[in-house]
Amino acid sequence: MDGAIVRTTLALISPGILFVFGIAFVCAWLIERKRSYLLVLASACGLFALGAISQILGWPSGAGPNAIVSGALYTSAVLAAVEGILLRSGTRLGLRMDAAILIGFTLLLAYFFYVDRNLLARVYIQNFGYGIILLIAAVRLSPLADGRYVDRVLFWVLLAFALHFFPRTLLTIGLSAPADKAAFANSMFWQSLQLSLAVLGAGLALAILAAAVADVIDDLRRERDVDPLTGVLNRRGFEERASAYLRKSGKGTTSLVLCDVDHFKSINDTHGHDVGDSVLREVGRVLRKSARKGDIVGRLGGEEFAVFLPDTNAEEAYECSERLRIAIEETSFAALKGAGLLTASFGVGTFKPGEAWSSLYKRVDARLYEAKRTGRNRTIADEFSSLKVDGGRPVLDDTAR
């Protein structure tokens, strides 16, 4: 078989692989259409494949037009890939920046072909330029380095893909360009370029697909574990998060708070279930806003909520519960239309040595029932309760049990 045919066939492997990934991105988008970045990434794969085919097969004919067209396609592919990756994280370069970069690259390639014919300059403009664009994207996505495992992999693969353009170009082409087209096709630069794009390009595409799959799984898990009315975790999600923390960190001084909206049945009976739903939604918002950063907030059912307090002793748990109780008491619930304050009762407990989760829950639930029975709008804990008030603020009182 003719050597030129073999080289051409081998050169087409890289764009062929990326074209297949482009189809995979389109299929992924058809399954999850709200992820528009998948279409952008599919277009990046398609544009790169077209650029490679244009360069390898010499379409359009003529060295000048071919260099300009293939260069514009390559540049568009890199920009589309960067925009797709950034769009997944809620950021982007923007169309104006993309257009400016594309026009700038095209003008430089045209200048170093038609005015100052310099193949070496064109090689460095494209390779260093693409490396810089990808490096900017990696810097913008640097927070991913501390994220989920799949996000960390995506960040490091993107960073490696961006950085490889610099040493590969310097080491394989140096300061002198091949003398003619045949020499260029047989050069170490061209061969290493095809290999690196096939390996690292495919690796980046796989990392992005894996991240997209992880996003879908996380969305499904959120839909499964989050209460759609209040936005906090449902019972299943709450218990799974709490159990996961206990498995990882142990019980230690971990506490649990249970909360029940006072007189909720009368709210439903008097104002209707729509108003009741609005009240629960607002209670969920208040609990999320007032809880600490590491606390886990959930709705266990009906008007009952729970807050899991990691690394919190009994006194701290009581204080946290009181802060939540006061936050609800001081909130103006518009849905009630001035029909009086809304309050909630709280029960609090802290893990005892060797105690099971079910035992803690029953104990705290008993404290919650006691708070409801003894007047509502109060916290009952193992050691503290808010039965005394001084200047509008609760005072710890270990005599009220």
Q: Among the residues of 294-345, which ranges form H helices?
A: 314-329
d(CA 319, CA 312): 10
Both structure tokens of 134: 């990808």
Catalytic residues: 303
Nearest CA to 349 among 395, 299, 383, 396? 383
Residue 28 to residues 126, 212, 219, Cα–Cα distance (Å): 30, 8, 15
Task: Report CA-CA distances (Å) from 102 to 70, 119, 277.
Answer: 12, 19, 52
- List C-alpha distances in Å: 60 to 19, 30, 65, 298, 313: 20, 33, 6, 62, 74
C-alpha neighbours within 13 Å on the C-beta side of residue 222: 8
**Pair 252, 349: CB distance under 8 Å:** no
Reported for 56-59, long-range contacts at CB under 8 A and 24+ positions apart, including other chains, are: 56/8, 56/11, 56/12, 56/15, 57/8
**Partner residues linked to 347 by β-bridges:** 258, 380
